[in-house]
Amino acid sequence: MGPGIARVHIYRIAAEDPIPTLNCPPGLTVAPLLPGQMSALGEVFGSIATSELGDAQNGQSQCYGAWLSGRLVHYSWVQLSGSHFIRKARRDVDIKAGEFWIYECLTSPSARGLGIYPYVLTVICRDHLRSGGEGFIYTSEDNVTSQRGILKAGFTWKEILRGLRIGKRYYRCGSTR
C-alpha cells in the first residue's frame, strides 16, 4: 500500500438535540453487555481487540449488544472517560465529563439492512444524554452505509479529521470543518 490521506468523519449529538424514534426491528433486544457476556463478542464476531476489553473492565468503556431472536448480531463500544484514540486520524481526544464517544460498531452480515445500527445508536444516546452532555461518533469517509446510519440516528456532521497513511501506519495530518 502506498501513501494516502485517510479522512475520518466526526458527528455530534447533544442532549438538546432530538433523538429520532426509530422502529425496533421485531425480536431485537438492546442492552449493555455484562462482564460475563464479553466472550460472546469473540464467538460471534471473531477476534476482538484486547485493549477494548481492558477498557471495559476498568470502567472507561462499555459495549452495547443487540440480540435478534436471542442471537448476538451487533455491538457498539461506548467510551465514557479517559483519552480516546482515533487511529486513522492519529488523534487522542480527552473525554470531558458528560461526553461519550461511540466507536467500533459492527453488525453481522446476516442482520444488515434491518435498521439495527441506527436503532442501537438511539438507545445509546437516550441512555447517555439523560443528564445532559453530548455524544460523538466517527467513521471513515468511504463507509457511506455507516454515515447514513449515524445521520438517521440524529447525529449531525461536525468535522473531518485527516491522517496521512503510509502503508499500514497513520500520521496526524489536519482537520476541516
Number of domains in the chain: 1
Q: Please say if the pLDDT value at position 52 is more than 70.
A: no
Contacts for 98 with CB less than 8 Å, ≥ 6 apart: 131, 132, 133, 134
* pLDDT, mean over the chain: 86
C-alpha cell of residue 18: 432530538
Non-local CB neighbours of 20 within 8 Å, separated by 6+ positions: 122, 152, 153, 154
- Identify which has the larger pLDDT, 107 or 2: 107
Look at residue 163 in the predicted model and tell me its pLDDT.
74
Q: Are 40 and 72 in contact (CB under 8 A)?
A: yes
* pLDDT, tens digit (0-9, with 9 covering 90-100), for 131-150: 899 999 999 999 999 999 99
The pLDDT of residue 50 is 43
Residue range of the domain that includes 43: 3-176
What single letter denotes the amino acid at residue 152?
K
Whole-angstrom distance, CA of residue 2 vs CA of residue 173: 16
Can you tell me the distance from the alpha carbon of 103 to that of 127, in angstroms, rounded to the nearest whole number? 16
User: How confident is the model over 49-71, as a mean pLDDT?
Assistant: 72
What pLDDT does residue 21 have? Answer: 96
pLDDT at 37: 80
Strand, coil or helix: what is 32?
A: strand
CATH number of the domain encompassing residue 64: 3.40.630.30
Band (47; pLDDT cuts 50, 70, 90): low
The answer to whether residue 54 scores a pLDDT higher than 70 is no
Mean pLDDT is highest, among 11-15, 44-48, 66-70, for: 11-15
Bridge partners for 170 per DSSP: 165
